[in-house]
Amino acid sequence: MADQAPKVVVTRRLPEPVETRLAELFEVELCESDKPMSRDALADAVSRADVLVPTLGDKIDAGMLAGAENLKLIANYGAGVDHIDVETARARGIQVSNTPGVLTDDTADMTMALILGVTRRMKEGVNLMQSGDWTGWSPMALMGHRVGGKRLGILGMGRIGQAVAQRAKAFGMQVHYHNRRRLHADIERPLEARYWESLDQMLARVDVLSVNAPHTPATFHLLNARRLKLMKPTACVINTARGEVIDENALTRALRNGELAGAGLDVFEHGASVNPRLIDLPNVLLLPHMGSATVEGRIEMGEKVIINIKTFADGHRPPDLVVPSML
Ligand SMILES: NC(=O)C1=CN([C@@H]2O[C@H](COP(=O)(O)OP(=O)(O)OC[C@H]3O[C@@H](n4cnc5c(N)ncnc54)[C@H](O)[C@@H]3O)[C@@H](O)[C@H]2O)C=CC1
Ligand SMILES: O=C(O)C(=O)CO
C-alpha cells in the first residue's frame, strides 16, 4: 500500500475532529448516519474499501468477508473485536486493528461507578427522589453496603481489569482475580491482588464480581447458571466487558430469586434488546453501553484508528494489530 492512497470507508458517524482528520489524510468515504448500517449496506462498504473503519455493531463474519475484493485492513473503532471474524480475515490476508488503552481509564471509572451505584443502592435513591415520595432522612432508609474491606473479584485482568483493580484498591477493597495467565509479580504486587487459577473458587469468595474479559468462544457464557450459583447471595455482578460472557437469562433468574444481591450492567447479551425482566429490578443498575463514552476517549479512539491506518498505508505493521492468538 506504500505508493497508493487507500480508500477508507467509515461505517458510522464519528466525532467531528476525527472525521476532519480522516478526510485530511486519506481518500475517505465518511458515513452520514449514526445508525448501524444494514447488512446490505455493510456488504457494499466491505466490497468497496481498501480500509474499513467499522464499529462494534457491524458484524463482519466470514460471509461478509467473502465479498471483500480489495480490503486489506479493518481498523476497528473500539477495543473489542468480537464482531469481527479475525481468523477468517487473517486467512484472507486482511489485517485487523483496534483501539486499546485510550478507553481503559474511562471504562474502569464507569465500572467503579457501577460498583458503588449497586452496593450503595443509588437506583433506589434516584427512584425515590423522582417519585416525590421522599419524606426526609431516616436512620435505616436505603442502607447499602460499604465497599471498603470487601472482596472484589476481577474476571479478565487485562488493561481495564487492572485499572479497575487500582481504583478498587484505593477504595479499600481486596482485589482477587482470575485471568488466562497470572500477572507478572511486578504488576500483581502493587495491587496486592490474589490470583485464582480456578474461577469457580474465586466466585465463591467474592462480594463483587467485575467482568472485564473479552467475548470469545472461550468466554461465551463463562458465567453460566452453575457458576452464578457458586456466588454468595449477598454478592453483586458488574459487567462492562461484553454481555455474552454472562448467561443473561440465568443472571436474571438469580437476581429475581434472591440468589444474587444486585447487578450493574453496561453491556447485554443481545445488544439493545435488554431482557425486560432485568429492567424493573430495583437492585439492577443498567447503562446503555457507555463505559468508554467520554469526549476525550472517543477522540483518542479516532486518533488510534488514524495511526493504525497511516502506519499501514506507509507499508508498516499497524501498532494495534489484533492476531487470532491474542483472542
Ligand atoms: N463497556 C465499554 O464501553 C467497553 C468495553 N470493553 C470491553 O472490555 C474488554 C476488555 O478490554 P481490555 O481490558 O482493554 O482488554 P485486554 O485484552 O487488555 O484484557 C482482557 C483480559 O482478559 C483475559 N482473558 C481473555 N480470555 C479469558 C478467559 N477465557 N478467561 C480468563 N481471562 C481471559 C486476557 O488474558 C486479558 O488479560 C474488551 O474486549 C471489550 O469487550 C472495552 C472498552 C470499552
Ligand atoms: O471499545 C469497545 O470495545 C467498546 O465496547 C466501546 O468503547
- Residue 29's contacts (CB-CB under 8 Å, 6 or more residues apart) are 7, 8, 9, 10, 45, 48, 49
pLDDT digit string, tens, across residues 195-250: 999 999 999 999 999 999 999 999 999 999 999 999 999 999 999 999 999 999 99
The yes-or-no verdict on residue 194 having pLDDT over 80 is yes
CA 134 – ligand 2 centroid, Å: 37
User: Closest Cα to residue 296, out of 1, 7, 18?
Assistant: 18
Amino acid at 52: L
Q: Which helix (H) or strand (E) holds 325?
A: none
pLDDT of residue 327 exceeding 80: no
Cα–Cα distance for residue pair 74/49, rounded to 1 Å: 9
CATH of 7-101+294-326, one of 3.40.50.2300, 1.20.210.10, 3.40.50.720, 3.30.110.30: 3.40.50.720
**Ligand 2 center–CA 5 separation, angstroms:** 28
The rounded Å distance from CA 161 to ligand 1 centre is: 7
Longest CA–CA separation in the chain, Å: 72
pLDDT tens-digit profile of 247-266? 999 999 999 999 999 999 99
The ranges of the chain annotated as CATH 3.40.50.720 are 7-101+294-326, 103-286
Atom of ligand 2 nearest to the CA of 98: 1
CA of 78 to the centre of ligand 2 (A): 5
Nearest CA to ligand 2 atom 1: 78
Could you tell which of 55, 292, 327 is best to mutate to test the pocket of ligand 2, judged by most ligand atoms within 8 Å of the CB? 292
- CATH class entry, domain 103-286: alpha beta
* 70-79: burial string, b at 16+ Cβ within 10 Å, e else: ebbbbbbbbb
Q: Which residues line ligand 1 (CB under 6 A)?
A: 79-80, 100, 103-104, 107, 156-161, 178-181, 212-216, 218-219, 240-242, 266-267, 289, 291-292
| Ligand 2 pocket member 36 (CB < 6 A) | no
Q: Which ligand neighbours the alpha carbon of 223 most closely?
A: 1
Angle at CA 153, nearest 5°, toward 147 and 155? 140
pTM above 0.90, yes or no: yes
Verify whether ligand 2 is closer than 6 Å to residue 79 (CB atom): yes
Q: What is the ipTM of this complex?
A: 0.99
